[in-house]
Amino acid sequence: MSEPVVTYTSKDHVATITLNRPEKMNALSNGLVAELRQAFQRLQDSDDRVAVLTSAGDRAFSVGADLKDPPRDPELWECMPGVGVMLDKPVIAAVHGYCVGGAFCLVEFADLAIADETADFFYPEAQIGFCGGLIAGLAARINHKHAMEFMLTGVHYKAQRAYEVGLVNKVTPKGEHIAAAHEYARILADSAPLVVRALKRFTRDVVVARGPSELAGLARNELLAISRSEDQQEGGRAFREKRKPNFQGR
């Protein structure tokens, strides 16, 4: 049996979610995106109060979408916290090495982010002629001019520059990013859960503007939940069997 490409561990109400394809620099394959979506849903449904999102290996947090096995079912947006999976629990990204393209969107949608000194963020969509659009919401999360520079030019933001423009909360020496993320996680796990979750919802729903792709993803997520539901299957069976459906809201 092959190892999972996303792992989930839990201790004292803190989850650690790890991208686990180090041999592929944690590229976001179809399988990884599916498992990451499941991990975030597990977080929401569990007793864990906060998650640290990190990755295996020493070269990259993630180099973005796997070009040989791109995420199609589910699509990339479906693993994004707050877009494909509705979370009211905080996510803290702990980043080292390369963080490219769609992988950066995971950091964008995280609530806090830690980078070690090896971190290298860049978003080259305009330079390769591709656009998923999720990045647009960055302009509501950091200074507009910095967001436009990062989105449009493909410039590399090293760890210190990322800190200066507000992409990350803290920069650590090499290899200390996960420990620093867990320091934040411990504070959040020990805080009042109802307050933490309420403030996250208020921020999401009131303060943060959303780009068109993000809004489309939210709408699509609602429709996919219906199309994949037991109720839809029951409705089809009832129609074929010419009876009244017995819907359960699942």
For the segment 15-67, what is each residue's pLDDT rounded down to a tens digit?
999 999 999 999 999 999 999 999 999 999 999 999 999 999 999 999 999 98
How confident is the model at residue 232, as a pLDDT? Answer: 78
Q: How far apart, in whole angstroms, are the C-alpha atoms of residue 63 and residue 104? A: 9
pTM of the predicted protein model? 0.85
Q: How far apart are CA 74 and CA 20, in angstroms?
A: 18
Amino acid at 193: P
Q: In what order do the strands lie in the sheet with 112-116?
A: 6-11, 14-19, 50-55, 91-95, 112-116, 170-172
Q: Which residues of the chain have pLDDT under 70?
A: 1-2, 206-227, 239
Task: Name the fold adopted by 6-210.
Answer: 2-enoyl-CoA Hydratase; Chain A, domain 1 (3.90.226)
Q: Which helix (H) or strand (E) holds 170?
A: strand 170-172
Closest residue by Cα to residue 8 from 71, 51, 64? 51
Q: What is the pLDDT of residue 207?
A: 61
> Which residue in this structure is represented by tokens 């017995």?
246
Check residue 42 and give its pLDDT. Answer: 98
Task: Please report which helix (H) or strand (E) contains residue 34, including its range.
Answer: helix 30-45
pLDDT, residue 212, reads 64
DSSP per-residue letters across 185-213: HHHHHHS-HHHHHHHHHHIIIII----HH
One-letter amino acid of 80: M
Q: What is the pLDDT of residue 74?
A: 84
Query: Sign of torsion, CA 108 221 203 140?
Result: positive
Please report, for the chain, the start and end positions of each structural domain, with discontinuous segments joined by +: 6-210
Predicted pLDDT of residue 240: 84
Separation of CA 170 from chain center = 19
